[in-house]
Amino acid sequence: AIATEASAAAAPRGVGAAVGRPPLRVGMVGYAFMGAAHSQGWRTAGRVFDLPLNPVLAAICGRDADAVRAAADRHGWAAAETDWRALIARDDVDLVDICTPGDSHAEIALAALAAGKHVLCEKPLANTVAEAEAMTRAADEAAARGQIAMVGFNYRRVPATALARRMVAEGRIGRLRHVRVTYLQDWLVDPEAPLTWRLRKELAGSGALGDLGAHIVDLAQYLTGEKLAGVSALTETFVRQRPLPAGAARGLSAGSADGTTGQVTVDDAAVFTGRFPSGALASFEATRYATGRKNALRIELNGEHGSLAFDLERLNELAYHDGTEPGEHAGFRRILVTEPEHPYLAAWWPPGHGLGYEHTFVHQARDLVHAVADGRRPEPSFADGLQVQRVLAAVEESAEKNSVYTPIAP
Ligand code: SOE
């Protein structure tokens, strides 16, 4: 046979590897930004990675019949439902993927686990610690029946952050002293930006704290392998009244104002410091008001023997300083994280042909499929999601008390 240009040069190593394997039939609730990102993950994982089960996009669910049908067609889902209970009841759904606002996470996850389904739930796990506790209890009971429950902290699945985790665990930076994390966006800088669901406590739970802070708390704890012992925090809501969206406001800034305003009931920004059990100090900043910063997640770890730094805007790179090198040639160097030896990358493109944001969702789907096939508790588990929720609650409590140091139950 004559190799075509596509097959000879461009095909990723694992193309089609899961096709023909037993199916893992996914039902997804939600079809906005995260729904699109997760669809991409489910659609692609089995075409790139050699998976034991082949993800099948069985059914997608949303309240608006026309919109969910259009989303099903656009993203490749076989069926569309308008009631999540009907989605859970379907015999052709093995796993329920929850991509809705936080106010419905607990109810959907509990029902799905009770119905014998595996569950993937977007972050933050829930809107309150009590909900997250109930979800974790249900996940533990379901685990005994062989069901899997995972929370979607996708930034663990950037090859460079996974490599950083590996390097910390190998002891390459030694005893940890500092963790410095910021997650900066600017989509609320305009005081006329509409009051979408993300700005309403009853729907979103909290603001920048739960949306962005949850990511950086999880990432910091994942990279260090430690859980925060306590925090001191400040939060602020800079603009307290905003125009109400006229229609259904989707995404980060869509929707048009009709003249009436409503109250913002969540934080716009959260700044906090924390202590790890090892004695390392951490600082965190999560904001939607960092003018010019679109999705800027940065983390730096300083240890006794070296440092690691990651910047989501350069996600194929990891900066590493080996402090044991002679001062003469020491300094941060850039590791281009595109080698087949790096996490996730053996299945993708040749070295130097980088990945992007969407691939974190492909890797998330890949890892979850393996966990389901192996009957293994995946990470991050619901218990991990609950612990992050406890950190968020401690941040709120500390901020209410003007930054009083607030311990976090282990
Ligand atoms: C909006 O702030 C948002 O989409 C978050 O909800 C996501 O979790 C983050 O990855 C990107 O920004």
Q: What mean pLDDT comes out for the span 338-348?
A: 97
pLDDT in tens, 232-242: 999 999 999 99
Residue minimizing CA distance to atom 7 of ligand 1: 211
Closest protein CA for atom 6 of ligand 1: 211
- Joined together, the tokens standing for residue 302 give 């300083």
Q: Return the residue whose CA atom lies nearest to atom 11 of ligand 1.
A: 295
Assess whether the C-beta atom of 136 lies below 6 angstroms from ligand 1: no
Under the banding of pLDDT at 50, 70 and 90, the label for residue 259 is: confident
Looking at ligand 1, which atom is closest to the CA of residue 123? Answer: 8
Q: Tens digit of pLDDT for each residue in 20-47?
A: 899 999 999 999 999 999 999 999 999 9
Q: Which atom of ligand 1 is nearest to the CA of 34?
A: 4
Q: How far is the CA of 35 from the centre of ligand 1 (A)?
A: 12
ipTM: 0.94
212 CA distance to ligand 1 middle (Å): 7
- CA dist 319 to 176, 181, 313, Å? 16, 15, 13
CB-based contact 211:205 (threshold 8 Å): no
Bridge partners of 274, per DSSP, are: 231, 282
Query: pLDDT tens digits for 199-230?
Result: 999 999 999 999 999 999 999 999 999 999 99
Q: Determine the Cα–Cα distance for residues 122 and 204; give it in Å rounded to an integer.
A: 12
Q: Is 332 in the pocket of ligand 1 (CB under 6 A)?
A: no
33 lines ligand 1 (CB under 6 A): yes
Question: How distant, in Å, are the alpha carbons of 84, 138, 361 from that of 61?
Answer: 6, 23, 19
- pLDDT, tens digit, 9 for 90 and up, residues 87-121: 999 999 999 999 999 999 999 999 999 999 999 99
Decide: helix, strand or coil at residue 49: coil
C-alpha to C-alpha distance for 298 and 216, rounded to whole angstroms? 9
**Distance in angstroms (rounded) separating the CA atoms of residues 236 and 172:** 37
In terms of DSSP bridges, do strands 257-263 and 269-275 run parallel, antiparallel, or are they unpaired?
unpaired
Using most ligand atoms within 8 A of CB, pick from 123, 295, 360 the residue to mutate for ligand 1.
Answer: 295
Question: Strands of 281-287's sheet, edge to edge?
Answer: 333-336, 317-322, 306-311, 296-303, 176-184, 281-287, 269-275, 230-236, 406-407
What angle do the packed helices 129-144 and 105-114 form, to 10 degrees? 20
Q: Is the CB of 295 under 6 A from ligand 1?
A: yes
The model's pTM is 0.94
**Atom in ligand 1 nearest the alpha carbon of residue 185:** 2
Query: Quick check: CB of 211 below 6 Å from ligand 1?
Result: yes
Supply the Cα-derived Rg of the chain in whole angstroms.
Answer: 21
**How many CB atoms within 10 Å of residue 53?**
20
Position 55 confidence tier, pLDDT thresholds 50, 70, 90: very high
pLDDT at 16: 57
Q: What is the pLDDT of residues 108-156, one digit of tens each?
A: 999 999 999 999 999 999 999 999 999 999 999 999 999 999 999 999 9
What is the residue-averaged pLDDT of the chain? 93
Q: How does DSSP assign 201-240, residue by residue?
A: HHHHSSSHIIIIIHHHHHHHHHHHT----EEEEEEE-S--
pLDDT band at 246 (very low <50, low <70, confident <90, very high): confident
DSSP letter for 71, please: H
**Ligand 1 atom 5 nearest Cα:** 211
251 lines ligand 1 (CB under 6 A): no
Using left for φ > 0, alpha for ψ between -120 and 50, and beta otherwise, residue 170 falls in: alpha
Binned at pLDDT 50, 70 and 90, residue 410 comes out as confident
Ligand 1 atom 9 nearest Cα: 212
Instruction: State the Cα–Cα distance between residues 370 and 378, nearest whole angstrom.
Output: 9
* Coil, strand or helix at 354: coil
User: 213 CA distance to ligand 1 centroid (A)?
Assistant: 10
CB of 185 closer than 6 angstroms to any ligand 1 atom: yes
